[in-house]
Chain A
Amino acid sequence: MTAALEAPAVRVPARNRRSRRLVWLAVLLALVLAAALASIAVGTRSIGLGEVWRALLDGDLGTEEAVIVRQLRVPRTALGLLVGLALGVAGALMQGHTRNPLGDPGLLGVTAGASLAVVLAIAWFGIGTPSGYVWFAFAGALAGTVLVYAISSAGRGGATPVTLALAGAALSALLYALVRAVLVSDQQTLDSFRFWVVGALAGRGAEVSWQVGPFIAVGLVLAVANAPALNLLGLGEDVARGLGQRIWPARVVGLGAITLLCGAATAAAGPIAFVGLVVPHAVRAITGPDHRWLIPCSGLLGAALLLLADVLGRIVARPGELQVGIVLALVGAPFFIVLVRRRRTAGL
């Protein structure tokens, strides 16, 4: 009798939390869907949702609107979804692994490596289109991450969150120095590079999504698989080890996922710092620190945020547009500051 009375008393709060999280998950999904529809409908030429629907259903429809929807808007929206998902998830993983609120995926050397590779691609190989940069940026991002991890684990104690963060910051500093050394003396390269470095979805075309999509898919699977281990690692390595968690496989899976996700996203859209940095903090205020919820929710919010920012960038600067990276930072920063001030942000 007492047991029957006590059991619900213990379990009800847990179930409440669970249903609240499920509601949030549904809200986020709806938000992503709405953002995707808006991203297809809004632009220099606004297209009604009915028109969008017809263009999507009937592949042979030859009206101007249908062509715009199928050849410009849908690929751009798909790319935005992919990049936003990847950056949000990578940010959550990164902050979990470094246990540092400044744990931006760029910190692992991804952005710096990709930047250097793109600068060299422009300066030495004369490549000038975003889809031409993709493989350079991806290779640079991978090389940057591998170097950071190699250096931070070369020390006597192996890679700790602090050595990882510092090695990433120091190596990024070095790579950026090389980038700047090229740019201060080469105006032509600066002219191309300054448009890549703000981060944008425009002019990428469908092939970029197909190029980076598989890497992002693998990264997402690894990230979800990494979540339970990350919860244990959050208790400290010693406690995690005591609970039976093997440390380095978990780290390798997590860092591999971050590298794939962030490298692919940066390769596709240029460095977009804000999503990976800020989305996990916002989500943590909703879901709490449990990574099994934090990681998927960060991905969804990242995708919604990126798409909405892209739409906003097309609205505010008509008939031109403002690059998504700039919109994100300028609109997202005040929101984030309000969030930080109003809530007691959950620590890591």
Chain B
Amino acid sequence: MTARTTVRLGPVSGIVRWRQLVVPLAALALLVLLSAVSLGRGDFPIAIGDVLRTLAGLGEQAQEFIVLELRAPRIVVGLLVGLALGIAGALFQTFARNPLASPDVLGITQGASVGAVAAIVLSGGALGGLGVPVAALAGALLTGGLLFVLTWRAGIDGYRLVLIGIALWSAMAALTDWLLTNAEIHDAAAAYVWITGSLNARTWDNAVPLALSLVVLVPLALAASRVLGVLQFGDDTARGLGVRLPLAQAAVVLVAVGLVATSVAAAGPITFVALVVPQIAVRLTGGSRPPLLASGLLGAVLVVGADLVTRTLLPQALPVGILTAAIGAPYLLWLLVRGRRRSTL
């Protein structure tokens, strides 16, 4: 199969780039498979038939509890967080025309960490279930808002976004470190697990708000995809092609910030998904910039897969944020070694 095929239907013609179709579909198939396996595996293995019966509402009570109340919310949170981070990473990297411009580097996830660590450390662990996610959401939105306001000068320049982002990142990282060094070691250890990103003990209370916000944000992000393609040519060309530049830039950045903030509130800053996945996606699809949908789906595959590995293969359950880096990074390295020379994003 060649890389692209021209399709003609009477007066209509178009180019089909097969890899850009096949990669998302394959990722989707893999995602369904991993989720199904993940529902059945764990400390109490349940056969796939029983899983299906439980999902249909016909299972035993114990199995129903394990599948629907313990595993399903965890998998849904992982899937949605991966989706959101993958898309947000692709948005930022395309917007700034820089493969390193991920929310991890721009300070947004660090802002969430400051909020969460402060909530854990300053309350001495008293703030449990609800307080920490809310603090994380506040931290991320605050940092994201700060990033937006400070970068805005009749529009957003990608270069300025990156520079101000790293300044915010280092300030937030310093605050986190300061809180950690001043905390009791027990609180510091709890906070450290949180800032690694974990799916442990996630319930529908985490999954539902995340799902609701993504229902709004993901379509917005996909709608921004067309504009992004034009923005890539540079601001002057984009303006010449009729893009209302400040509006488009504001939309892209705010949607990306929203995606990151909601996902971080649900599962903590699961590291490196937003950095690594878009770069993997662009190398698999062979396009000129990270594809949004494929990045999102691959992000979901990475998080759900990493969670499955921590729960089943490892002797000791590690936070999923460790595994996403441990799986995603070598894969990107392999693609780099194997790949052709790229001098652009």
Please state if B192 and A333 are interface contacts (CB–CB under 8 Å).
Answer: no
A102–B345 alpha-carbon span in the complex (Å): 14
Interface string of B320-333 (1 = CB under 8 A from A): 01110110111011
| Contact segment of A56-64, A68-76, A114-122, A188-196 | A188-196
Residue of B nearest to A237 (CB): B343
Please state if A190 and B276 are interface contacts (CB–CB under 8 Å).
Answer: no
Q: Does A22 contact B (CB under 8 A)?
A: no
Give min CB distance, A260 to chain B, whole Å. Answer: 23
From known contacts A156-B341, A166-B99, infer whether A184 and B318 are also in contact, taking CB-CB under 8 Å: yes
Q: Does B201 contact A (CB under 8 A)?
A: no
| Contact segment of B16-24, B161-169, B202-210 | B161-169
7 more CB-based (< 8 A) A-B contacts, given A170-B330, A197-B177? A101-B163, A151-B337, A169-B276, A170-B332, A177-B329, A184-B196, A281-B163
Q: Does A347 contact B (CB under 8 A)?
A: yes
Give min CB distance, B253 to chain A, whole Å. Answer: 16
Q: Does A185 contact B (CB under 8 A)?
A: yes
List A contacts of B339 (CB < 8 A): 155-156
Q: Does B8 contact A (CB under 8 A)?
A: no
List A contacts of B276 (CB < 8 A): 169-170, 173
A9–B155 alpha-carbon span in the complex (Å): 39
Please state if B166 and A169 are interface contacts (CB–CB under 8 Å).
Answer: no
Q: Does A245 contact B (CB under 8 A)?
A: no
A32–B304 alpha-carbon span in the complex (Å): 52
Give min CB distance, B304 to chain A, whole Å. Answer: 18
Interface string of B114-128 (1 = CB under 8 A from A): 000000000000000
Please state if A176 and B341 are interface contacts (CB–CB under 8 Å).
Answer: no
Please state if B337 and A190 are interface contacts (CB–CB under 8 Å).
Answer: no
Interface string of A245-277 (1 = CB under 8 A from B): 000000000000000000000000000011001
Give min CB distance, B42 to chain A, whole Å. Answer: 20
Please state if B153 and A163 are interface contacts (CB–CB under 8 Å).
Answer: no
List B contacts of A160 (CB < 8 A): 341-343
List A contacts of B263 (CB < 8 A): none
A165–B101 alpha-carbon span in the complex (Å): 11
Partner of A170, one of B171, B178, B319, B336: B336
Q: CB within 8 Å of B: which of A143-188?
A: 151-152, 154-158, 160-163, 165-167, 169-171, 173-174, 176-178, 180-181, 183-185, 187
Q: Does B301 contact A (CB under 8 A)?
A: no
Q: CB within 8 Å of A: which of B127-157?
A: 150, 153
What are 8 A-B contacts with C-beta separation under 8 Å? A162-B99, A163-B336, A174-B326, A177-B329, A178-B326, A198-B177, A329-B173, A333-B167
Please state if A326 and B99 are interface contacts (CB–CB under 8 Å).
Answer: no
Give min CB distance, A338 to chain B, whole Å. Answer: 9
Please state if B100 and A102 are interface contacts (CB–CB under 8 Å).
Answer: yes
| Contact segment of B44-52, B180-188, B230-238, B290-298 | B180-188
Q: Does B189 contact A (CB under 8 A)?
A: yes
Interface string of B96-124 (1 = CB under 8 A from A): 00111100010000000000000000000
Residue of A nearest to B280 (CB): A170
Q: Does B338 contact A (CB under 8 A)?
A: yes
Give min CB distance, B128 to chain A, whole Å. Answer: 19
Give min CB distance, A2 to chain B, whole Å. Answer: 39
Interface string of A312-323 (1 = CB under 8 A from B): 000000000011
Please state if B271 and A173 are interface contacts (CB–CB under 8 Å).
Answer: yes
Q: Does A88 contact B (CB under 8 A)?
A: no
Partner of B322, one of A171, A177, A191, A333: A177
Residue of A nearest to B328 (CB): A173
List B contacts of A170 (CB < 8 A): 276, 328-330, 332-333, 336
A190–B191 alpha-carbon span in the complex (Å): 11
Partner of A341, one of B153, B170, B325: B153
Interface string of B52-74 (1 = CB under 8 A from A): 00000000000000000000000
Q: Does A234 contact B (CB under 8 A)?
A: no
Give min CB distance, B273 to chain A, whole Å. Answer: 10
Please state if A100 and B100 are interface contacts (CB–CB under 8 Å).
Answer: yes
List A contacts of B272 (CB < 8 A): 173
Partner of A176, one of B164, B168, B192, B271: B271
List A contacts of B275 (CB < 8 A): 169, 173
Q: Does B25 contact A (CB under 8 A)?
A: no
Q: Does B279 contact A (CB under 8 A)?
A: yes
List A contacts of B185 (CB < 8 A): 187, 190-191
Give min CB distance, A179 to chain B, whole Å. Answer: 9
From known contacts A158-B341, A184-B322, A198-B177, infer whether A345 and B159 are also in contact, taking CB-CB under 8 Å: yes
List A contacts of B105 (CB < 8 A): 102
Partner of B177, one of A158, A177, A184, A326: A326
Please state if B189 and A333 are interface contacts (CB–CB under 8 Å).
Answer: no
A309–B171 alpha-carbon span in the complex (Å): 14
List A contacts of B166 (CB < 8 A): 101-102, 104, 277-278
Q: CB within 8 Å of A: which of B243-288?
A: 271-272, 275-276, 279
